Structure 1
Amino acid sequence: MLGNIELLSRLGLAALLGSVIGFERERLNWAAGLRTHMLVCVGSTLIMLVSAYGFADVLGQKDVVLDPSRMAAQVVSGIGFLGAGAILMRGEIVRGLTTAASLWSVAGVGLAVGGGMYTAAIGATAIMLIILAGVKPLERRFIAVKQERSIHLLAERGRVTLDSVHSALGPGSVRVMQFVVQQSEDDPDLDSVQIGLSRASETQFAVIRTRLAAMPGVREDQKGN
């Protein structure tokens, strides 16, 4: 059985490592942020500790055989409910997959800390942070820019909706990856609409811009790429 200091040290390390990943998500204003990641990491560490050391007093009894990996395995599958809550789905737009993956990974970090695998836990945290914070600028520069196109419209208040955009695009067209509507800073009666589209050729994109600019209520096609 581990001593109290070692138990508390593992829980504290889990909270620290979880906070590193959680802070990166909190910085981007995701629902699953700092506290959520810390709680997941500490909770999975506690479950791992209970699984590995919580039944030491009954192991000496006759016909008692325990598998310390069973409770840990339940964390891997059970964390899915939090992952589902981190994913936001609006029509055909799915967001939050990366945050759901980070929650699942943080649970693994907690299990590693609970099992005393400090090097693996710290190393995994560092790699996760590089993936979340370091790879994203590269992804935006070299991948997302080539795959996505955006259109900015100025429209009458409430006239342009996600459904109306889908109707204008028609069946079999490119997917809407992002749809953001904000009140125009220049005119409170107008909406500034940003529409992110999946990959399209120059010809396809030109046709799409023409269709969207011709939608009822659209005043101006501001800019696009």
Structure 2
Amino acid sequence: MGTSSVWFIPHWEMAVRLLVATVLGGLIGWEREHNNHPAGLRTHILVSVGSCLIMLLSIYGFAAFADEDKVRLDPSRIAAQVVSGIGFLGAGTILRHGFTVSGLTTAASLWVVAAIGLAAGAGFHFSAVVTTVIALVSLELLNRAESFLFRRKRLITMRIDTDKSPGRMGELATAIGAIGIQIRKVTIDHGEVNGNRLQIFFTMKLPGDMELSKLIEAIEDVKGTREVHVE
């Protein structure tokens, strides 16, 4: 097989693709690290460079068999597993926060970094760079823009002491959502209030023109609510 074969690239080009994946994944990882998110610089670099290597292996790792009879190479066969496999890693950043969804953006960034690594491994450097720029704009600049555009909304945390009962958190969340309030985070404390009660912490965004008393009244109307405290 000659070096001009479509199944062959020199070692230096493989190294370049791996380095491109490292740099691009590192840029997104640095943004996550800078903002104190669970998966940071090292995790994103490893995901990106690992995806790149899998793509290189998928395309060029079996070049020795390309000229064999009855052998059909599928360059995407191994790389395709990254798309589904990365979901398990991303799920870990969500589940580690219990009932919160604060790891969802980090899980999405890991998925995008895996795609960037695959693109770099396939030699699509331009698309990998453009995707990295778009991801950084979405993570950093749009986050600041969102804070500016929705600055009139107040972020509060409320502790609710309630009877322990199946579905209690869902009933409270429904009552809060019914008056147009966005819930950002939910945490349940099973500590000792007493054996039949629990504490639920809701972090919510209130519209600037909403009276806090309206929210408290909606919560107190839910059966089983004992006390309501604004943290």
Q: Which residue of 1 aligns with 2:98?
A: 90
AA aligned opposite 1:206: S
Whether the 8 Å CA contact 1:21–1:34 is kept in 2: the answer is: yes
Instruction: State the alpha-carbon separation in 2 of the partners of residues 128 and 63 from structure 1.
Output: 42
TM-score after normalising by structure 1? 0.74
Instruction: State the alpha-carbon separation in 1 of the partners of residues 110 and 54 from structure 2.
Output: 16
TM-score after normalising by structure 2? 0.73
- Tell me if 1:116 matches 2:123: yes
Instruction: Return the match for 1:150 from 145, 148, 155.
Output: 155
Instruction: State the alpha-carbon separation in 2 of the partners of residues 133 and 48 from structure 1.
Output: 28
Q: Which residue of 2 aligns with 1:27?
A: 34
Instruction: Return the match for 2:176 from 173, 183, 206.
Output: 173
Whether the 8 Å CA contact 2:156–2:205 is kept in 1: the answer is: no
The DSSP-based 3-state class of the residue aligned with 1:151 is strand
Runs of 4+ in 1 over 3 A off after TM superposition: 88-91, 160-171, 198-205, 209-218
The DSSP-based 3-state class of the residue aligned with 1:177 is strand
Q: 1:6 to 1:168 in 2, by over 3 A?
A: closer
Equivalent residues in 2 for 1:71-90 (5 A)? 71-88=78-95, 89-90=97-98
The CA deviation at 1:176 is: 3.7
Instruction: State the alpha-carbon separation in 2 of the partners of residues 151 and 204 from structure 1.
Output: 13
Instruction: State the alpha-carbon separation in 1 of the partners of residues 113 and 210 from structure 2.
Output: 44
The CA deviation at 1:203 is: 5.1
AA aligned opposite 1:172: A
Percent identical residues? 40
Instruction: State the alpha-carbon separation in 1 of the partners of residues 48 and 130 from structure 2.
Output: 15
Q: Which residue of 1 aligns with 2:75?
A: 68
Whether the 8 Å CA contact 2:101–2:185 is kept in 1: the answer is: no
Instruction: State the alpha-carbon separation in 1 of the partners of residues 161 and 19 from structure 2.
Output: 45
Instruction: State the alpha-carbon separation in 2 of the partners of residues 163 and 16 from structure 1.
Output: 50
The DSSP-based 3-state class of the residue aligned with 2:113 is helix
Q: 1:201 to 1:209 in 2, by over 3 A?
A: farther
Q: 1:206 to 1:34 in 2, by over 3 A?
A: same
Q: 1:166 to 1:120 in 2, by over 3 A?
A: same
The DSSP-based 3-state class of the residue aligned with 1:150 is strand
Q: 1:48 to 1:32 in 2, by over 3 A?
A: same
Instruction: Return the match for 2:144 from 114, 137, 142.
Output: 137
Deviations 1:171-223 (A, max 9, x none): 5223642369xxxxxxxxxxxxx9531456845632225788997595xx68x
Whether the 8 Å CA contact 1:151–1:209 is kept in 2: the answer is: no
- Tell me if 1:2 matches 2:9: yes
The DSSP-based 3-state class of the residue aligned with 1:94 is coil
AA aligned opposite 1:17: L
The CA deviation at 1:59 is: 1.1
Q: 1:28 to 1:7 in 2, by over 3 A?
A: same
Instruction: State the alpha-carbon separation in 2 of the partners of residues 170 and 107 from structure 1.
Output: 35
Instruction: State the alpha-carbon separation in 1 of the partners of residues 103 and 139 from structure 2.
Output: 13
Q: Which residue of 2 aligns with 1:38?
A: 45
